[in-house]
Amino acid sequence: MRQGNLGLQKIDWITVLLYFSLAILGWLNIYAAVYDEAHSNILDFTQRYGKQLLWIGTSVIIIIFLFILDGSIFQTLAYPIYGLSMLSLLAVLFFGKEIAGARSWFVIGGFSLQPSEFAKFATALALAAFLGKPERNLSSWRTKIVAFGIILLPAILIVPQPDPGSGLVYFSLILVLYREGLSSSYIIAGISIAVLFLLSLLIPILYLQLILAAVALIIIFLGRKVRGFWLRVSAILAVALVLVNSVDYAFNNILEDRHRNRINILLGKAHDPKGIGYNTTQSMIAIGSGGWSGKGYLQGTQTKFDFVPEQSTDFIFCTVGEEWGFLGSALLIVLFSLLFFRLVHLAERQKSSFARAYAYAVVSILFFHFSINIAMTIGLAPVIGIPLPFFSYGGSSLWGFTFLLFILIKLDSYRWQTL
């Protein structure tokens, strides 16, 4: 028997509370990040903090709308939503407005919309709908090819904007495939490719090729008694050599100068604290200056004098570090950690394969954003321009993350039923 439209008694209010805690704290820190004594009213809707409050208010409308819907509609409309989302990603390449070097936005009047933010929940739905069918088996090549295709298509459409950071987010969905039965060898292969990519940037290609060949020969010698072992190792070596030889082309022809420079700075191959590395340098100074308990709300000097560009968006965490110190930063990390633990709990209690796969997609996307965003601000990852979920300024990102999370909360309220 179906529950009522809203079914509020079945909603996971712990997750809802964590969501609003992060959204409100984000709003307060956006106010601090762009604070101006000439516009000190926190309800000034001409400023970013006023606009963010409007985004939070409209997000409440989105939440109510999702709660009203029947939970089964998400699986039914998963593919149409995905298709429309892919069309919007294609259209923005031709009809979008270029902002900050990327053609990622539709601008209608004074309203801007970034379709890549909505493609995340659309892709999560499509992947979950595909994997949720009883006949799907990730030991089948057909199933694997289609699943990887669903993940790769939005990334392929987003990278040319160019927005490689948002494109990378979709690779986190491989964790969903692993949870649904994909062999761990694919995860190992992915990690190996990433390691080879980094080594290709750090070591001259000729030396790296010789090292790989030597390692392969040693492995072949150790496993020489196993029939056909040398052939498998030789095939892996051939793939590795093709990969390392492709890195130079990809690095120099696909990535833009700013992305290449950020990676080189992260790897220690370049030093440009006043140029491309300025944001990260100032962010680290701001966070470090906060000390144990911070300088106090609205008292951050790095923040007040606008030393860190994009401090209300990609670098919002450094505002927390400067004004609230280690304690405030730790509290924020604890809140996100509680959210992730809660989402994994929700995922594991689902009886529907569709809902479980979708739940793990939500966890994967949010955790990728959280970990990479904070790593960017403390110099552990290149600056790839992705927001801190529910916390950074931006209507498209907040709406996109709200859809992503609250579709899961709605699905969870149906967990004892067959959707």
CA pair distance 140, 5, nearest whole angstrom: 38
For residue 162, say if its preceding peptide bond is cis, omega within 30 degrees of 0.
Answer: yes
Per DSSP, the three-state class of 105 is strand
The C-alpha angle 263, 269, 271, rounded to 5 degrees, equals 90
What per-residue confidence (pLDDT) applies to 1?
36
Structure tokens given for 419: 């959707």
CB 378, CB 284: distance < 8 Å: yes
DSSP class of residue 137 equals: -
Q: What percent of the chain has pLDDT over 70?
A: 91
Q: What is the pLDDT of residues 40-97, one digit of tens each?
A: 788 888 888 899 999 999 999 999 999 999 888 999 999 999 999 999 999 999 888 8
CA pair distance 82, 91, nearest whole angstrom: 14
What per-residue confidence (pLDDT) applies to 276?
61
Residue position matching structure tokens 């093709």: 242
Per DSSP, the three-state class of 113 is strand
CA pair distance 372, 385, nearest whole angstrom: 9
What per-residue confidence (pLDDT) applies to 197?
81
Backbone angles phi, psi at 107, to 5 degrees: -120, 120
Backbone angles phi, psi at 135, to 5 degrees: -80, -5
Residues paired with residue 241 on neighbouring β-strands, in sequence order? none
Q: In which element (H, E) is residue 108 found?
A: strand 102-108
What per-residue confidence (pLDDT) applies to 88?
95
The parts of the chain modelled with pLDDT lower than 50 are: 1-4
The number of beta carbons lying within 10 Å of the beta carbon of residue 308 is 28
Amino acid identity at 241: L
Write the CB contacts of 332 (distance below 8 Å, at least 6 apart in sequence).
25, 317, 320, 391
What per-residue confidence (pLDDT) applies to 418?
52
Residue count of the chain: 419
The C-alpha angle 280, 285, 290, rounded to 5 degrees, equals 130
What per-residue confidence (pLDDT) applies to 4?
44
What per-residue confidence (pLDDT) applies to 417?
63
CA pair distance 321, 287, nearest whole angstrom: 4
Class of residue 364 by CB neighbours under 10 A (exposed 0-12, middle 13-18, buried 19+): buried
Structure tokens given for 397: 């990102």
What per-residue confidence (pLDDT) applies to 307?
72
What per-residue confidence (pLDDT) applies to 112?
83
Q: What is the pLDDT of residues 117-174, one digit of tens each?
A: 999 999 999 999 999 888 778 888 899 999 999 999 999 999 888 788 888 899 999 9
CA pair distance 347, 268, nearest whole angstrom: 40
What per-residue confidence (pLDDT) applies to 186?
81
